[in-house]
Amino acid sequence: MVRVQKINDVGDAGNLVRNFEHVRRSDGALVGGKNSSLGEMITALGEKGIAVPPGFATTSQAYWHYVDTNGIRKKIAALITDWQEGKSTLAETGHAVRNLFLHGTWPADAADAIKSSYRELSAKSGIENLSVAVRSSATAEDLPDASFAGQQESYLNISGEDALLDACRRCYASLFTDRAISYRKAKGFDHMSKGFVLATGLSIGDAAVSGRICLVKNAKDIDNFVDGSILVTKATDPDWIPVMKRAAAIITDHGGRTSHAAIVSRELSLPAIVGTGNSTYVLHTGQDVTVSCAEGDNGFVYSGISDITTQTVDLTKLPEKTVEAATRMVVSFMVALLEFDIGWFGCWPSR
């Protein structure tokens, strides 16, 4: 059994707020999809005279800084656990978690960073106490099978530093609206680590690994692959096998459980996540990530290096009924594979 512990480190104050002008597409794990796209647009289109609204983003580090300063991380986890175990209703859980955020206080460095950025934005626009919109920009949004559309709240016409801090606090709290909690459960997301999901797809295997991305979009660029890296590409075919043997893990945009990448990954005992839809867009060479196939049918790519531990289970110590059930599952799976092979090749056993 593999456990992946997502480590949410908080950096210095400079990593708490980012001006859009200093944000790029590769910063999605830090500021979310909307913000990273706005930053990329400002860079790409600003020089061509196309106006893109200015602004700034609070980072995922600022969020965890707020959570830990107010000591609510374990409280949130306990409330979610009670709901999952049927000890409380969804409405009760959502209300309780949101109150933890709404009654919290801002860390001084985060509050100063937000107010300073707001003053700079107001000065740039020439309007004192500029009215702004405060919106969520989740780092796990707009994934192929999980858009997170409309899950968090937006606040418009916010004017003044105190009002801005309050709106940001309420935006944090809206991460735990009833609909957002139930949506994450339906999609298989961890309520306490959503801020670090970069991509998700079908998990191949049950292992996890941390390492550095090497993005290779086309077979003609295979020679650029760095041995021991995590291979990210659109899809694979037999030409990719020599590179796949040298990879620590594999992530693809396309493919299912019977795709080439999935089959070869199983043969090589490599963790792989296939069918992400957008990995070649949101991941980039040199990026440190954790690839987790240890959390069920869905595989997750997390930002940063995680602490991975392995637990060995002695099957001889399991209850007899559990072993019998596992044996029946294996036999059923083998029968299913046989039927799949027969159907795939279009032939049947002769009588």
Distance, in Å, from the CA atom of 208 to the CA atom of 206, rounded to the nearest integer, reads 7
Q: Please state, as a whole number, how many other Cβ atoms lie within 10 Å of the Cβ of residue 64.
A: 17
Instruction: Report, as an integer, the average pLDDT of 330-338.
Output: 46
- As a three-state string, the secondary structure of 288-313 is EEEEECCCCCEEEEEECCCEEEECCC
Q: What is the arithmetic mean of pLDDT over 44-55?
A: 81
- On the question of a common fold for 11-192 and 196-310, the answer reads no
Report H helices in 223-319: 241-244, 260-268, 279-282
Rounded CA-CA distance 287/246 in Å is 18
pLDDT at position 9, please?
40
d(CA 176, CA 115): 25
pLDDT above 70 for 186: yes
Q: Give the residue carrying structure tokens 């609204």.
A: 53
**CA–CA separation, 279 and 234 (whole Å):** 8
Fold type of domain 11-192? Dna Ligase; domain 1 (3.30.1490)
As a whole number of angstroms, the distance between CA 309 and CA 208 comes to: 9
Average pLDDT, rounded, for the chain: 81
Contact 230, 289 (CB under 8 A): yes
Residues 6+ away with beta carbon under 8 Å from 124: 54
> Does the pLDDT at position 336 exceed 70?
no
pLDDT grade, residue 149 (50/70/90)?
Answer: low
Answer whether CATH 3.30.70.1520 is correct for domain 196-310: no
DSSP for 76-133, written as a single string: HHHHHHHHHTTSS-HHHHHHHHHHHHHT----HHHHHHHHHHHHHHHHHHT-TT--EE
Average pLDDT over residues 122-145: 77
Per-residue pLDDT reduced to its tens digit, 261-303: 999 999 999 999 999 888 888 788 988 889 999 888 888 888 7
The domain limits of the chain are: 11-192, 196-310, 319-345
Mean pLDDT of 217-238: 93
- Burial status of residue 232 (CB atoms within 10 A of its CB: 0-12, 13-18, 19 or more): buried
**In the prediction, which pLDDT does 115 show?**
95
Nearest to 198 by CA among 295, 80, 287: 287
In this prediction, what percent of the chain has a pLDDT beyond 90?
45
Instruction: Identify the weakest region by mean pLDDT among 69-73, 115-119, 183-187.
Output: 183-187
Average pLDDT of span 222-228: 94
Read off the pLDDT of each residue in 27-54 and give the average, rounded to a whole number.
78
Using pLDDT thresholds of 50, 70 and 90, give the confidence band for residue 161: very high
Q: Region 171-191: what's the mean pLDDT?
A: 83
Is residue 240 packed enough to be buried (19+ CB in 10 Å), middle (13-18) or exposed (0-12)? buried
Contacts 24+ apart (CB under 8 A), 255-260: 255/202, 256/202, 257/202, 257/204, 259/235, 260/235, 260/236
Residue 2: predicted pLDDT? 46
